[in-house]
Amino acid sequence: MKKNYPSLIYVSILLLFASCGAFFNQPFDTSEARIGEETSGKSILDGILPLQETVVGVYKFRDQTGQYKLVESGSTFSTAVTQGGTSILLKSLADSKWFSPIERENIGNLLNERQIIRSTREEYSKNSKENQVTSIPPLLFAGIILEGGVVSYDSNIITGGSGAIYFGAGGSTEYREDRITVYLRAVSTSSGQILKNVYVSKTILSQGISANLFRYVNVKRLLEVETGITKNEPTQLAVKEAIDKAVETLIIEGIIDGIWKPLGGQPVVDIITQKYKKEQEDSESTALYDRKLEDRRGRTAFSVTGGTAKIAGDYSNSEVKPSGTLAYKMYFNKPALNLNFGVGYLELENQGAFNDDFLTFDLNLEYDLLPFDQLSPFTYAGIGTISDTNVNDIYMKFQYGLGLEYLPVNNIGLKVFAEHNLLISDKLDGLVQGKRDDYFWRMGVGLNFYIGKPYKRVKSVMFE
């Protein structure tokens, strides 16, 4: 039993930490019915009311994708999107306090019921002493009808995860993102003109976390433990949030174009217009996977790096020695491409055989793979020279490298890089031997200080 104590302690600790999320999130009792959840989006129209509510009718607002829910195996007749879009839209219109929706989806039922009322009253009047029939108030008519629907449901637009297993114990995480798109248009009943047409998209996130243990406690006893939790964002709430946003956008664009009037007059219109333009800029600079595209760099930059260098020449036992560079770079018209040149110092050594200090001059063409992201890989290549500190012997070389740059704020970048330098000579270490020329590696970290005012936003349509 004493030999099993470490394993039992290990198992207890693993279960304690790995199962906390699953334990505290699992339901223990049935829940009572509750009022429907509200969406979390903050509206520009909070506290802003109309001069007069607009009567609108909605005949249908449904799923137009025809898509069925994805399953891992087999088939299903369950649709991926709720078929009750009209009910959700009518609720959003009423909650906005800008519209007075009237019943049109099931207008046949309403007309039948009104006919029953009319017939009953006529029959009652015949049998009563009073022959006067009370008339039914006329139905409201809509000045505007709203059309549209859920036009797209894109599954698995991005999937991924990570995990690790060591000595029978491990864990993993997985995630998946879907996207739903809603179109909404307002049509004038007097002229048939489409007054406004807007569309909104919303992502739907699913996440899963799991941990497991597979260990032999002793020769004849095998222990296997699994725990985990999965969370799926409800599709119905995503549809509701997208419809709520579409109604808000329809109202805002209608206010800006003068279709409907807010209380407070032009000052309120100006405030709404300013907030909406800012939201449009943010939306236009957001790519498909919520990447914020922004020109964060000036047109020129100074760079300071420090790191290590290691020679690969004709001697063995090469050592890692210090190196550093100063560089200046200029961007071309295309923000991703720049030309940079710099000077550097490095020390190269083979233990017990060779040691010297060198100066380098490099001219590189560099390309940023994600020029408008906060984190961007980059690659570069070019030509240069290397010489001793007295500049007596100068050797030509080619160099290429790659790295990663992170910009915590605009115009300041932190980078890491690795570089390979190939000489057109075998004399760098003073020994000519073999067919291969000398070369060396250079790795390090650095700072980029950009000069100039970057653009604030970049339209994502160019880089989707």
pLDDT in tens, 343-362: 999 999 888 888 899 999 99
Inside any domain, residue 119: no
Q: Of the candidates 224, 252, 284, which is a domain's last residue? A: 284
pLDDT in tens, 47-82: 888 888 899 999 988 888 877 777 666 556 778 888
* In a shared domain, residues 348 and 375: yes
* In a shared domain, residues 63 and 99: yes
Structure token pair of residue 341: 């040149």
Inside any domain, residue 15: yes
Inside any domain, residue 125: no
Q: Which pLDDT band, with edges at 50, 70 and 90, does 16 fall under?
A: low
SS3 state at 109? helix
* In a shared domain, residues 156 and 91: yes
Domain that holds residue 387: 300-462
* In a shared domain, residues 245 and 361: no
Q: What does each C-alpha distance from 207 to 159, 163, 232, 347, 356 come to in angstroms?
A: 10, 14, 6, 50, 55
Q: What does each C-alpha distance from 418 to 293, 326, 446 come to in angstroms?
A: 26, 16, 11
* Range 31-35 average pLDDT: 76
* In a shared domain, residues 94 and 184: yes
* In a shared domain, residues 341 and 204: no
* In a shared domain, residues 310 and 430: yes
* In a shared domain, residues 44 and 163: yes
Q: What does each C-alpha distance from 445 to 163, 215, 353 come to in angstroms?
A: 28, 42, 29
Inside any domain, residue 158: yes
Inside any domain, residue 432: yes
Q: Which pLDDT band, with edges at 50, 70 and 90, does 236 fall under?
A: confident
Q: For residue 91, what is the domain's CATH number? A: 3.40.50.10610
Amino acid identity of residue 127, one-letter, is N
* In a shared domain, residues 264 and 410: no
Instruction: Count up the domains in the chain and report the number.
Output: 2
Q: Percent of the chain having pLDDT more than 70?
A: 85
| Average predicted confidence (pLDDT) for the chain | 83
| pLDDT over threshold 50, residue 1 | no
* More confident position, 71 or 152: 152
Q: For residue 378, what is the domain's CATH number? A: 2.40.160.20
Inside any domain, residue 450: yes
Q: Which residues contact 348 (CB under 8 A, 6 or more apart)?
A: 309, 310, 311, 318, 321, 354, 355, 356, 358, 428, 429, 440
Inside any domain, residue 458: yes
d(CA 252, CA 40) in angstroms, rounded, equals 19
* In a shared domain, residues 246 and 191: yes
- Lowest mean pLDDT: which of 21-30, 273-282, 338-347, 374-383? 21-30
* In a shared domain, residues 280 and 188: yes
What are residue 395's phi and psi, to 5 degrees?
Answer: -120, 140
Q: Of the candidates 223, 254, 284, which is a domain's last residue? A: 284
State the virtual CA torsion across 69, 39, 44, 196 in degrees, nearest 10.
30
* In a shared domain, residues 279 and 385: no
| pLDDT over threshold 70, residue 425 | yes
Inside any domain, residue 454: yes
- 82 neighbors 64 (Cβ within 8 angstroms): no
Report the pLDDT value the prediction gives residue 462, as an integer from 0 to 100: 42
- Lowest mean pLDDT: which of 19-28, 60-69, 306-315? 19-28
